[in-house]
Amino acid sequence: MKKIIGLSCVVLFLFSCREKKSGTEDVETAQKETHKDLYGSWVGDFIVAGSDEYEGDMSSANDKINIIIKSITKDGVIGQSIVSGNVRPLSGKISANGNQISFILDEPGTDKYDGRFEFKLKGDTLIGVWNAYKTELKWPEKSFKLLRKAFVYNPNLMLSADYGYVDWSSEKVKSQLDTLEDGTIDTTSINSFYRSASDKIFKINASNTALKENDLKNLRKLDLQILRNTIFARHGFTFKKQTYKDFFNPIDWYVPISGNVDKELTNLERQNIKLLLRFEKYAEDNYDTFGR
């Protein structure tokens, strides 16, 4: 009788071990990372679906979005979306049908701008759309085509001289009365004026050079602001203010990766930022008229 009981215990033990091992293997399979070649930053324009892609001056530049894929397993996908100063966690699913790989990734839903990303991998491009959860707010559907683009900090990066840096979001309107010879007013004309930067922004680098007061004395306020914010752009700061989005989103080297890069700043950059801020308080802007 003891032998039968002992044998039963052994069988039960072995069965239990197999069951436990099988369960462990299932968990390990679910947690095993796949498609690691898709990890990293995917960057491109984030535009209203159906609208034209960016062409022309910076006044019509699109938002730039970075979708970071951090982990892919059988259980799900973990990532992050970064656009217009918003940094949001993403989670969802990946599905594969032959060579076709598709994603559905959701933002948490705790912010009014949160929504769902649905996209597919076509060649070397992620192509898809984003829709807001809160349809009553009538946020338009956004589309995107993203390419892999690694962020690399480089203190020598400069703004492109191919663009004219005009702050289209700072319009000042002035009216002018046209008076006839007899003293009567004929017409009233309305003119728009905008802040513009000088070519100094292409010659001064506040990330690799210790600035002196003489370097900044005659600069416009917009010059100083651009020099300061180019420091943050080099570190991948995502801008909320329209002025800086217009300036940096079209720049090829700019990759938004964080809403706070303070810890990444070098001592030289911190010193230069303090000096630039001090001069910004008293600097004046140059306003001029520009054709749109």
Phi and psi at residue 218, in whole multiples of 5°? -105, 15
Q: Identify which has the larger pLDDT, 21 or 280.
A: 280
Q: What's the pLDDT band for 15 if we cut at 50, 70, 90?
A: very low
Decide if pLDDT at 24 tops 90: no
Q: Identify which has the larger pLDDT, 85 or 176.
A: 85
Taking the C-alpha atoms of residue 245 and residue 251, their distance in angstroms, rounded to an integer, is 10
Tokens 């799900």 appear where?
Answer: 76
Return the pLDDT at 56. Answer: 43
Return the pLDDT at 57. Answer: 44
Taking the C-alpha atoms of residue 195 and residue 79, their distance in angstroms, rounded to an integer, is 38
Return the pLDDT at 161. Answer: 93
Return the pLDDT at 50. Answer: 80
Decide if pLDDT at 189 tops 90: no
Decide if pLDDT at 58 tops 80: no
Contacts of 81 (CB under 8 A, 6+ apart): 65, 66, 67, 68, 87, 88, 90, 105, 107, 117
- Nearest alpha carbon to residue 34 among 77, 67, 68: 77
Taking the C-alpha atoms of residue 46 and residue 129, their distance in angstroms, rounded to an integer, is 9
Return the pLDDT at 17. Answer: 53
DSSP 14: H
Low-confidence winner among 46-60, 92-106, 161-175 (lowest mean pLDDT): 46-60
DSSP 38: G
Decide if pLDDT at 175 tops 80: no
Return the pLDDT at 25. Answer: 56
Percentage of the residues of the chain whose pLDDT score is greater than 90? 68
Contacts of 21 (CB under 8 A, 6+ apart): none
Phi and psi at residue 130, in whole multiples of 5°? -125, 135
Q: Specify the pairing of strand 115-122 against strand 86-97.
A: unpaired
| Neighbouring C-beta atoms of residue 248, cutoff 10 Å | 24
Beta-bridge mates of residue 208: none
Q: Identify the structural domains of the chain with CATH numbers, from first to last.
A: 36-148 (2.40.160.90), 166-289 (no CATH)
Tokens 């004026």 appear where?
Answer: 193
Q: What's the pLDDT band for 23 if we cut at 50, 70, 90?
A: low
Taking the C-alpha atoms of residue 166 and residue 161, their distance in angstroms, rounded to an integer, is 13
Decide if pLDDT at 251 tops 70: yes
Phi and psi at residue 257, in whole multiples of 5°? -130, -10
Return the pLDDT at 282. Answer: 93
| Average confidence (pLDDT) over 29-52 | 87
Percentage of the residues of the chain whose pLDDT score is greater than 70? 81
Return the pLDDT at 286. Answer: 86
Span 81-134, pLDDT tens digits: 999 999 999 999 999 888 899 999 999 999 988 999 999 999 999 999 999 998
Q: Alpha-carbon Rg of the chain, whole angstroms? A: 28
Return the pLDDT at 255. Answer: 98
Return the pLDDT at 291. Answer: 62
> How confident is the prediction for the chain on average, in pLDDT?
87
Decide if pLDDT at 10 tops 60: no
What's the maximum distance between 2 C-alpha atoms anywhere in the chain?
129
Q: Is 77 helix (H, G, I), strand (E, B) or coil?
A: strand
Return the pLDDT at 137. Answer: 82
